[in-house]
Amino acid sequence: MNKDKKQVPSTSNQLFGKENYLWMLIGLAVLALGFFLMAGGKSSNPKVFNDAEVYSTTRITIAPMLIIAGFIIEIFAIMKKSKTN
């Protein structure tokens, strides 16, 4: 055995840290909530069009805002510098 060998400390080669993954999960939850709020509108009678149900404030305004916020959170999670590196 060679005692002159230097020991190299092992470093983590992870691309993202724990906090990045947490932000990614939060962004995914916001995206899922936005898509869930946008879905629906099924009528019991397909020949009747209920415009109040289809064009509600939740589907036209709130859900797209949540989806955009979810994508912004995802971009933040990817770009955030990990404290361990």
Burial of 57 by CB count in 10 Å (0-12 exposed, 13-18 middle, 19+ buried)? exposed
Residue 64 lies in a domain: yes
Contact assessment for residue 74 and residue 27, using Cβ atoms and an 8 Å cutoff: yes
The structural domain count of the chain equals 1
Nearest in space to 34 (alpha carbons), one of 54, 62, 71 = 62
pTM, 2 dp: 0.74
Residue 12 lies in a domain: no
Joined tokens for residue 11:
């470093």
Residue range 3-61, pLDDT digits in tens: 666 765 656 677 888 999 999 999 999 999 999 999 876 778 888 888 888 888 999 99
Q: Is the pLDDT of residue 85 over 60?
A: no
The range of the structural domain enclosing residue 26 comes to 18-42+50-79
